[in-house]
Amino acid sequence: MSKAVVFESYGGPEVLRVVDQPVPRPGPGQVRVAVRAAGVQPADALLRSGRFAQWSPAMFPQRLGNEFAGVVDALGEGVTDWAVGDEVIGWVTPSAYAEHLLANHDEMVAKPAAVPWPEAGVLSASGQTAASVLTQLGVGPGDVVLIHAAAGGVGSYAVQLAAARGATVVGTASEHNHGYLRSLGAIPVAYGTGLASRVRAVVPRVDVALDGSGTLSALNASLELLGSTERIATIAYLPAAEEMGIRRLSTRRSQAQLTELASMMADGRLTVEIQARYPLAEAARAHHDIETRHVRGKVVLLP
For each of the domains in the chain, give its residue range(s) and CATH number, in order of start: 2-124+253-301 (3.90.180.10), 126-248 (3.40.50.720)
Gap between the Cα atoms of 63 and 60, Å rounded: 8
pLDDT tens for each residue of 227-271: 999 999 999 888 888 889 999 999 999 999 999 999 999 999 999
Characterise 65 by phi-psi region: left (phi > 0), alpha (psi -120 to 50), beta (else): left
Q: Is the separation of the CB atoms in 206 and 226 below 8 Å?
A: yes
pLDDT of residue 24: 97
Contacts of 76 (CB under 8 A, 6+ apart): 26, 27, 28, 29, 30, 31, 32, 105
Largest CA distance in the chain: 60
pLDDT tens for each residue of 112-136: 999 999 999 999 999 999 999 999 9
Report pTM.
0.95
Sign of CA dihedral 208, 214, 215, 216: positive
Give the three-class secondary structure for 51.
Answer: coil
Taking 70 as the pLDDT cut, the residues of the chain under it are none
pLDDT of residue 239: 83
Please provide the DSSP assignment of 123-171 as one string: TTTHHHHHHHHHHHTT--TT-EEEEETTTSHHHHHHHHHHHHTT-EEEE
Crossing angle (nearest 10°) for helices 283-292 and 42-49: 100
Give the three-class secondary structure for 108.
Answer: strand
Contacts of 55 (CB under 8 A, 6+ apart): none
Q: Is the separation of the CB atoms in 226 and 232 below 8 Å?
A: yes
Characterize the bridge pairing of strands 30-40 and 62-63: unpaired
